[in-house]
Homo-oligomer: A and B are copies of this chain.
Amino acid sequence: MTTLDPRTAELLKRDDNGLVAAIVQQHDTGEVLMLGWMDDEALARTLTSGRVTFYSRSRQEYWRKGDTSGHVQFVHSVSIDCDGDALLIKVNQVGAACHTGTRTCFEAGGDLAAIPATPEQLNL
């Protein structure tokens, strides 16, 4: 077991399953790659190993990204949000972040039909 620094543990606002959301972003391009979930142990491993580790809600186990696929996420930096229920993990993503083979999980799901704001509101 990897112990999370108590000062960090104090900042976390966990959901009913003991998890916080972890947004993963490519550190240089700014692409949002995926959203995963972490408990204290997964976060501690991520902070100390240089490799992103999630807790899989569906499989109920730890999951060090890339161990099976080779699509490793190397840790650049980790921030926490103002209310402690979300993390932003900046990484270097090797290959595809998504298990479907696309670079990001949001390409895989695709765009929803939205009526966007006006070009002026968007500063376009």
Contact = CB atoms under 8 A, between A and B. Distances in A.
Contacts of A21: 21, 35
Determine how many copies of this chain the complex contains.
2
Given A30-B29, A117-B51, A121-B92, A82 B111 contact: no
Contact of A92 (B34, B48, B117): B117
**Chain A contact patch, size range:** 35 or more
B25 A32 contact: yes
Contact of A49 (B83, B88, B115): B115
Interface string A84-121: 11111000100000111010011111111111111001
A4 to B, nearest CB: 10
26 contacts: A8-B112, A11-B109, A16-B16, A21-B21, A21-B35, A29-B30, A32-B88, A35-B81, A35-B86, A48-B115, A50-B116, A50-B117, A74-B118, A74-B122, A77-B111, A77-B116, A78-B111, A78-B112, A79-B109, A79-B112, A81-B105, A82-B98, A82-B102, A83-B105, A86-B105, A92-B117
